[in-house]
């Protein structure tokens, strides 16, 4: 069953924010902190929540910190733990915390059936088509045909560029075991990963993540901007 509007806790430190719009429309899920050292997306979502971001149509779910212990440690995953992004679809009875948590997120996706799932990441390498892998700044997808929303969002992002170093690119980088691809396969949604380059200041990366979230919510029809 989809969640009731409000705040739901997957752990005492893992809130899931659910907002329903007055008008019907698609479901969008925006999440960050699946890797604990990639903080710009976490802070971008926390700021947007503090500013009371709400959907105009449909439903918006915001999960600022998917892996709280890893975020507190500022590590991709906690020492001795597992990469949450590689544990999907997960297992509710597994001894490992990350596999149990992956199952909770997987069930959430199956219940909510989002049109759009966006996971905010960051990259230590600036994107260069000649360097594989390198990600910052890219909108990453893993399906054969690029979802048109990717090109529309990138055109808007690059249309607002203040600095050529911040140029965005689309990147097809399929990783069959990643959470996004497992969810896309199961739900049939558009699944995108946002990658900013860690070489920029923290403040600038947060602002870039905020901008891309707002543009994607506008393009999917959940929130006008």
Q: Does 205 bind Zn ion (CB under 5 A)?
A: no
Listed residue (117, 89, 94, 121) closest to 105, CA to CA: 89
Window of 18-26, 114-122, 144-152, 178-186 that interacts with Zn ion by CB under 5 A: 114-122
Neighbours of 15 (CB within 10 A): 18
82 versus 222: smaller Cβ distance to Zn ion = 82
27 versus 178: smaller Cβ distance to Zn ion = 178
Binding mask 136-175 for Zn ion (x = CB under 5 A): ----------------------------------------
Instruction: Tell me the Cα Rg of the chain.
Output: 16
Q: Is 93 exposed, middle or buried (0-12, 13-18, 19+ CB in 10 A)?
A: exposed
Q: Is 29 left (phi over 0), alpha (psi -120 to 50) or beta?
A: beta
Q: How far is the CB of 121 from Zn ion (least distance, A)?
A: 3
Q: How far is the CB of 122 from Zn ion (least distance, A)?
A: 6
Compute the distance between CA of residue 211 and CA of residue 137 in angstroms, rounded to an integer: 13
Compute the distance between CA of residue 128 and CA of residue 137 in angstroms, rounded to an integer: 10
With tokens 């969008």, the residue in question is: 28
Q: Does 121 bind Zn ion (CB under 5 A)?
A: yes
Q: How far is the CB of 147 from Zn ion (least distance, A)?
A: 20
Binding mask 38-77 for Zn ion (x = CB under 5 A): x---------------------------------------
Give the residues across from 32 on adjacent strands. 120
In sequence order, the 6+-apart residues with CB closer than 8 A to the CB of 190 are 115, 116, 117, 141, 147, 149, 184, 220
Structure tokens at 40: 């710009």
Window of 6-14, 30-38, 51-59, 152-160 that interacts with Zn ion by CB under 5 A: 30-38
18 versus 213: smaller Cβ distance to Zn ion = 213
Window of 118-126, 144-152, 205-213, 216-224 that interacts with Zn ion by CB under 5 A: 118-126
Q: How far is the CB of 109 from Zn ion (least distance, A)?
A: 18
Q: Which of 19, 25, 31, 35 binds Zn ion (CB under 5 A)?
A: 35
Which residues here bind Zn ion, judged by CB under 5 A? 35, 38, 121
């Amino acid at each position: 069953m989809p969640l009731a509007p409000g705040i739901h806790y997957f752990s005492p430190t893992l809130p899931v924010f659910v907002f329903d719009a007055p008008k019907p429309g698609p479901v969008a899920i925006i999440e960050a902190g699946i890797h604990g050292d990639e903080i710009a997306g976490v802070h971008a979502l926390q700021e947007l929540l503090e500013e009371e971001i709400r959907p105009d149509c449909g439903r918006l779910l915001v999960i600022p910190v998917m892996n709280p212990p890893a975020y507190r440690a500022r590590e991709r995953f906690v020492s001795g733990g597992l990469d949450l992004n590689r544990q999907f679809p997960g297992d509710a009875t597994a001894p490992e915390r990350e596999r149990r948590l992956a199952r909770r997120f997987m069930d959430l996706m199956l219940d909510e059936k989002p049109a759009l799932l966006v996971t905010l990441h960051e990259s230590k390498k600036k994107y260069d088509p000649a360097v594989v892998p390198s990600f910052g700044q890219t909108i990453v997808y893993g399906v054969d045909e690029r979802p048109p929303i990717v090109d529309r969002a990138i055109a808007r992002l690059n249309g607002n560029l203040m600095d050529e170093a911040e140029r965005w690119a689309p990147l097809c980088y399929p990783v069959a075991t990643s959470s996004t691809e497992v969810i896309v396969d199961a739900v049939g949604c558009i699944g995108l990963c946002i990658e900013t380059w860690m070489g920029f200041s923290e403040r600038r990366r947060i602002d870039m993540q905020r901008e891309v979230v707002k543009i994607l919510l506008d393009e999917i029809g959940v929130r006008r901007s």
